[in-house]
Each structure stands twice: as C-alpha cells, then as structure tokens.
Amino acid sequence: MNRFSKNIDIYIIILLLNFFCICSFIYFNLGKNIMLNFIMLGLLFTVTIVAYFRGIVEGFLFSAMIIFFYVTYIIYNNIIYRNPIELITYIWMVDIPLSAFISGKLSENINLIQNINAKLQKEYRDLITIDRTTGLSNLKGFYMDLDREMSKAKRHKLSLSLMIVKIQYYDELKVILGEKRMEEILKVISNVITLAIRGEDISYKLDKDILAVLMPSTNIQGAEVVKGRIKESISEENLKIKQEDKNVNLDIKIGIVEYENTIKEAFEFKELAEKELEYDV
C-alpha cells in the first residue's frame, strides 16, 4: 500500500507540474492564437477528467480525437492561410495524451488502494465477534463457541443447555420508539441476561431481536431457573419502560434445549431451541 501511496503522490506532483508549465507557456505567449490555446487548455482539463473517471484507454481515445481535429485545423490554416506551425502545436500534441496517461495512472493507483481498503475492512468485519450495540458476542462467535461446547459435552458426557431469547414485536417497537431507544432497550435486556447467568455462561446477540445464552455444565432444570430469573427481571424493567413510554409493553419469549448425543450439529441445536419459543406463553 505504501508503494501505491508514493505512486499517487508522484502522479499528483507530475500532473500539477504539467498544468503549471502549460499555463505558464500560454501566459507568456498571450498574443499568439490566444482563443485557440484557451480552448485547448479547456480540452486538456476535460481529457484529464475523462481519463481519471473512465480510465487510460478512454482518455487516449478522447485525446486522439482532439488531436486529430486540432492538427487538421492547424494544417488547414498552414496550407490555406500560410500560418506557420508554432511550438505550442507540438506541445499540445504531446501534452494532451501525456495528461491522459498521468491522470489514468493516478486513478488506477487510487482505485487499487480503495480495493485494498475495502478488502481489509471486510476481513476486519469477518474477524469481529462482538456486537457493537450490546457488547455481546455475535452470531460468528456463537457458532464457534457452540461447536466447541458440543464437542466437549459429547466427549466428557457433560450437560449443556442452550437458551434462545426473542424480543416480541421488535419491528413494531422500533417504529414506535425509534432506533436509538430500541438500542437502549437491547442494552437493558442484555444486562438483565448477563446478571442472571453465571460467569462461565456466555450470552450472544444473534439477530436484531434474538439473543442467546450458552450454558455449559447446566441441565434443563438449571436452565429453567435462569429463565425464571430473566423473566422476572424483564417484568421489572417493563414497569420502568411503561413509566416512560406508556403505550409500550416489552415482552420476550424464551426457548431452552438441553444437548443430547442425537443432535449432530450446531445449526440443529439452535433450531431446536428456536422451536421451543413456540411453547413459551
């Protein structure tokens, strides 16, 4: 990336120096074909812009078209009116395609850096396992931990329970309360869950309205106790929310499944816990 950055610096400096030289030359030759030279200067800037946004090839094609008409005009004036071919003519013939090349290379290097940055950002997002809003592990972290704990439970014949917590009417609440207020409520719910579970249990945010708790060394009876604590705490928080937003009723459903050897993979385990949400009334 440092190489591309240096290339960008070099091309910018060359482009600016090129513009400075051509403008200086026109300034010191104001009396000679001033209108034509200003038109060519405008076309030079146009070629530079085309090459930057469309690439070197299109920049060269546009340059060739401009030079063709320009040279045709110069030759016509030379033959018909006996006007001499001046030095500025050769400068335009060289400088216009040169500017297209420099601008195109500048654009190429900038695009390369942008692509590298986009790739790095994607890799960074893929590595992140923490949800920004709640501070809980996300879906990626959930499946990594779930696979590990399932293998451990199967190998050592340990208990393992999975709890899925779903916020009811999330989309409707978001419309009523707004995104910022819903983020605050999500933080409240995640704090309630964190306080209700043990230190070795792990909580996650799987989706906008779905949280999960992975409880190693916990059977279904122990998980039901945790479920009761969470429900009770949510009821208390619901009373506080109603004091601020009287028309809002915060409700959650909780599904729990204990791991069995018949469960083959993490996706199946999660799906079974989600099905249990239907029976929580």
Write the pLDDT tens digit of every residue in 224-262.
999 999 999 998 888 777 777 666 778 899 999 999 999
Write the pLDDT tens digit of every residue in 202-212.
999 999 999 99
The whole-number average pLDDT for the span 125-150 is 82
Residue-level pLDDT at 246: 60
DSSP H or E segment with residue 211: strand 210-216
Write the pLDDT tens digit of every residue in 255-270.
999 999 999 999 999 9
Give the SS3 label for residue 87: helix
Q: Say how far residue 160 (Cα) sits from the centre of its chain.
A: 36
Of 40, 146, 59, 135, which is closest to residue 97 (Cα–Cα)? 59
Question: Amino acid letter at 32?
Answer: K
Structure-block tokens of residue 16? 């600016």
Residue-level pLDDT at 241: 75
pLDDT band of residue 181 (cuts 50, 70, 90) is confident
If one looks up domain 139-279 in CATH, what number appears?
3.30.70.270
Q: Per-domain residue ranges for the chain? A: 2-127, 139-279
Assessment of whether the complete model's pTM goes beyond 0.75? no
Alpha-helical regions (H) of the chain: 2-27, 34-54, 56-80, 87-127, 139-156, 170-177, 179-196, 220-244, 266-275
Strands, E assignment, 52-167: 160-167
Do 208 and 170 touch, CB atoms closer than 8 A? yes
Q: How far lies 119's CA from each of 114, 122, 170, in Å?
A: 9, 5, 33
Residue-level pLDDT at 29: 80
Spatial separation of the C-alpha atoms in residues 67 and 79, rounded to whole Å: 18
Q: How far lies 54's CA from each of 43, 51, 66, 98, 169, in Å?
A: 16, 5, 17, 16, 48
Residue-level pLDDT at 27: 86
Write the pLDDT tens digit of every residue in 160-170.
999 999 999 99
Mean pLDDT value across the chain = 90
Residue-level pLDDT at 123: 64
Structure-block tokens of residue 66? 């401009």
253 sits in the region (left: phi over 0; alpha: psi -120 to 50; else beta) called beta
Residue-level pLDDT at 127: 58
The whole-number average pLDDT for the span 49-58 is 96
Residue in the structure block whose two tokens are 């078209």: 65
More confident residue, 3 or 67: 67
Write the pLDDT tens digit of every residue in 66-78.
999 999 999 999 9
